[in-house]
Amino acid sequence: LGTTTPGALRAKKLLEDHGFEVVAFHQNGTGGIAMEDMILEEVFQGVLDLNLHEIGDSFVQGLHGAIREGRLESAGSIGLPQVIAPGSINYTVQGSPDSLSEDMRGRKCFNYNPHLTLVRLLPDELTEVGKEVAQKLNKAKGPVKIFIPLRGFSFPDREGLSLWEPRGNQAFIDTLKENIDNSIPVIELDAHINDPDFIDPVIEEFIVMIQRQKTVS
């Protein structure tokens, strides 16, 4: 839905400037699974996963949450370098405002268009999401680094906007850090996911990881 597109486009340009060919996938319930399938064809040098929306959406039966097992696991299963960020993981995509359940209506909402509403996940739900992400990444056979944008995970999740709710984000962060393997660094940056101050160091580290993997192999 474009909520991390500015950051993704900057990441794509930076990688292309360094000579990489970039294949992008939309996290819309089918894009993530298509990416996982293509990863297993072993055509990639590394995976930059900036948007985990499908995983969060799957916890509340959102429109983009009908994902099969394996999301966020393919790269790890074949040892590819991975850089992960929790883009858009903290909301669910629901239908039109008048179709929302009573529970969803009582939450922070962003009216994306007349037919779709982005609804904030609750802190206890994000706690469970954090556990799930950690469990998946702990299986990885290759290098993994997680970058956390402390000033928001998507464009409506920014101070002053409709999905900004730091307590829920912190619940996810704390649970992830508690459950992630000690060998996987979690790097917190005081920036929004779409900001250059977040994307630039993420890409710098991603390139280093790919180059290091080439040397090892």
Residue 66 has pLDDT above 80, yes or no: no
Chain center to CA of 194: 12
Mean pLDDT of 58-77: 83
Domains in the chain (CATH in brackets) are: 5-87+122-216 (3.40.50.12030)
- Separation of alpha carbons 166 and 151, rounded Å: 8
- Separation of alpha carbons 171 and 188, rounded Å: 14
**Residue 30 pLDDT class (50, 70, 90 cuts):** confident
Mean pLDDT of 79-99: 96
- Separation of alpha carbons 109 and 139, rounded Å: 34
Position 217 scores a pLDDT of 62
